[in-house]
Structure 1
């Protein structure tokens, strides 16, 4: 499992740090539908697609291919709220890791997480195939550093893992990775992974508190249940489609990622009064309007971003949605 959405802190924390370095709120939040006042609301959440747009904005504005390292380092364990308190209150590192995986929906994860024992080491694995290849290095580095920040919050700032592995090639200078992890990762590996010595599992947590742990677990279970109820199947499909720009797979592919058959997904969408193609069309129309209103991209570029191999097909679809051609839509905005 991975979270359906994140705490607004995942955007607010790096945004506040970057503002001091000259990045404006408008640059960072363009196209997300978010504002500083929204992010600062108590208990505010952001969808994964909103956060992904935010990260893409940072990569473009900063021109830093290592922006994932930077963002991940903005997440001390204390920022994780209830999730962090639950882990800190556990009796040992073993119990803390059990809670970390049990309540992963309350974390800041973009990826699916797993843990196994290999050759006398604990290996923390993370991976996902939902994202565009251009986003994967940034997201993987953010994910790995955020996970590492949790480990350091539990084990101390001097903790160094026995091994760090990335699937992608090195993105920035070796010194930046060493500064974050305390060691140079292995690049172009077969997996994203952080390895720990087995004896770490028996390390006692300095802030162990059984009463606090029990309260956190009880509340965490309630929040997990509420998250499952609040996020409809329509929301899940939309979010999945938004995570990979230009990629709108058939319903069978989406159903498989949601661990159900295409028939079951069609039935569940019908229960909400909508079909899969209508979701795709609505998303494409909304994105098309945003590109036409907010950018100077050519029609051909917009068509490609929306998954059309032929711009004529996009123009035909847009006319069907709006009653006018994309160029007429844009011209009308300039005259308004």
Structure 2
């Protein structure tokens, strides 16, 4: 799937700390680091600057270049496993000093916008019992339209990073009780990772999530330090307030996405949700927070198309209705008047 540039926020919003690991990986493999920056406006100094922010377009290009040059489809798992506390900045130190595993997960949930604004995770919640073990889960989903390979890289990296951090902070975790669910087909490298870590991985799932024994939530953090925790949380709250405002909301991004079809076909809510790595139910809930619904966005796109046709063609109102997906002219006329305040014929200037 090709994601057009106008679906991406243009303002710099992504910290360089994660992508510095790509640079280090190139160096260790003896690869030409200049190839990592092809098609971007970035250089070595940018990735070495902790305060420099990347645009989504440059971030995606970095990952695409890295995948192409290294020839490593498992690059996300490799890079994710290298993320240490410092890679997560202040949020990482807050999690490290929190009282319990549940508190650490709450830190990740609340402050992921300052870690990576393109993704969200759910708060830890109880899910189900598998083979007599009660599991909790954390869902991972994207908040922007992202190139498919980049999205897989990011999800792979997130999963392996969570596993590496959990092993570091809570050494009593039994890896073979951890489950990764990916909403894309598994590759052979996933099987290799599973065999080397004892983590169970399932592909073609409904969502991306990591499942863990729910007993873990109450596990005390051996590195807990309330003073450090409170200090880090205060600074995280300040950073959260300083984040640049989104260039457009999720609903506006969806309108742009479903508008960009050459054959006039409107993408369904299910397809849009899949592109965003979330369930249709989750998408519905997020849109509800913006006081809208998917069908309202789709209606807006249809009526905007109808207005163009009314102005630029001599097609009849009934023909236009059918071309934009309405079964009859009457339903189309009602929907048009609801949004525009006039009937289609009045909009066209017909008596």
- Cα deviation digits, residues 53-86 of structure 1 (max 9, x gap): 1111111112222222122223123321211100
1:115-154 paired onto structure 2 within 5 Å: 115=123, 116-119=125-128, 120-128=134-142, 130-154=145-169
- 2:77 aligns to what SS in structure 1? helix
Change (3 A) 1:202 1:173: same
Residue segments in structure 1 that go unaligned for 5+ positions in a row? 263-336
Q: For residue 219 of structure 1, what is the aligned residue in structure 2?
A: 235
Work out the CA distance in 1 between the residues paired with 2:261 and 2:42: 27
The residue correspondences of 1:315-330 to structure 2 (distance < 5 A) are none
Measure, in 1, the Cα distance between the counterparts of 2:173 and 2:14.
Answer: 28
Tell me the TM-score normalised to structure 2 length. Answer: 0.62
TM, length-normalised to structure 1: 0.65
Question: Is residue 168 from structure 1 mapped to residue 184 from structure 2 by the alignment?
Answer: yes
Match of residue 155 from structure 1: 170
Indicate conservation of the 8 Å contact 2:94/2:233, yes or no. yes
SS in 2 for 1:9: coil
Structure 1 residues 14 and 109: CA distance shift in structure 2, 3 A: farther
**Which position in structure 2 is the counterpart of 1:107?**
115
Q: Is the 8 A contact 1:7 1:108 kept in 2?
A: yes
Question: Where does residue 201 of structure 1 map in the other structure?
Answer: 217
What are the within-5 Å matches in structure 2 for residues 5-154 of structure 1?
5-108=13-116, 110-115=118-123, 116-119=125-128, 120-128=134-142, 130-154=145-169
Matched-pair contact (CA < 8 Å) for 1:14–1:74: no
| Distance change (3 Å), C-alpha of 1:202 and 1:158 | closer
Q: Distance in 2 between matches of 1:159 and 1:78?
A: 25
Superimposed CA distance per residue, residues 243-288 of structure 1 (whole angstroms, 9 cap, x where no aligned partner): x9xx9579x99996993669xxxxxxxxxxxxxxxxxxxxxxxxxx
Deviation string, structure 1 residues 159-218 (Cα, Å, up to 9, x no partner): 525311111122233553226643231122222111111111111111111111111111
Distance 2:215 2:287 in 1: 38
Aligned equivalents of 1:257, 1:17: Cα separation in 2? 42
**Which residue of structure 2 aligns with residue 259 of structure 1?**
290
Q: Write out per-residue CA displacement over residues 120-145 of structure 1, whole angstroms, 9 at most, x where no aligned residue.
A: 31111112372233444333212322
3-state DSSP of counterpart to 2:200? coil
**Counterpart secondary structure, 1:164:** strand
CA contact (8 A) 1:87 1:96 kept: yes
Tell me, yes or no, if structure 1 residue 210 matches structure 2 residue 218: no
- Computed over aligned residues only, the root mean square deviation of the Cα atoms, in angstroms, reads 3.5
**CA distance, structure 2, for counterparts of residue 83 and residue 40 of structure 1:** 20
SS in 2 for 1:19: helix
Do the aligned partners of residues 76 and 187 (structure 1) sit closer, same or farther apart at CA in structure 2, a change above 3 Å counting?
same
Contact 2:113 2:119 in 1 (8 A): no
